[in-house]
Amino acid sequence: MAGERPRYGLLISALGAIVLAVSVFLPWYGVSFTAAGLTLAQQVGDQAAAQFGNAALQSYMSSFHANLSSLAGHQFMALSAHQALKDLNVVLLILAGLAIAVALIALAGPASASSSSDGHRAPLLLLGAVAAVCVLYRMVDPPSVEGNFLALSLREGAWLALLGSIAMMAGALWPSSAVPSDAQLQRVWSELSGWTPEA
């Protein structure tokens, strides 16, 4: 279509918002036992075996301790942002939904309107920046765990959320140079060659 500029920036922003929305349901944190948590588990097991168990249970607990100590630092479960971040996951989903709506409305609009006015850039940039700040905050400061017995480590969901937020901003900053129309190309050619279609 004449005068239509490439809309790659809008597509990148929309895809980034989709990645952000999907990442909310992917693992953000891996949960593992700390040394203090394993020590507490061993103490509780020993007390239960001494109080309620017989010699067979006590010998089983001693072999269980050897296996338990090997779990230090190993992830035994994962938490998504939907599970670990009660309010922030809703905020991220709202930001992603708004960005998808803005990008799709701009893509569905007429090419001439999107060429002359880049009104979608500021909202997409703002939504991506807010999402990136929220994600970075929870990457640097993960949710607190009761006691000192469990540790959280970052998983792929958090990194994908950050990537999606950056893609939303990158799409908003994508160059918006228009593709020249046929009339503009003919005018440039006539200026360079001195030939005009009427001549």
State the pairing for strand pair 150-154/75-80.
Answer: unpaired
pLDDT, residue 98, reads 96
Q: Does pTM surpass 0.75? A: no
| Six-digit token string for 159 | 């990194």
pLDDT of 199 over the 70 cut: no
Question: What is the percent of the chain where pLDDT is above 90?
Answer: 33
pLDDT of residue 177: 55
Q: How far is CA 199 from CA 27, 143, 190, in A?
A: 68, 75, 10
How confident is the model over 77-118, as pLDDT tens digits? 788 888 888 889 999 999 999 999 999 998 887 654 444 446
Question: Is 9 or 26 the better-scoring residue by pLDDT?
Answer: 26
Q: Which two tokens stand for residue 13?
A: 């922003």
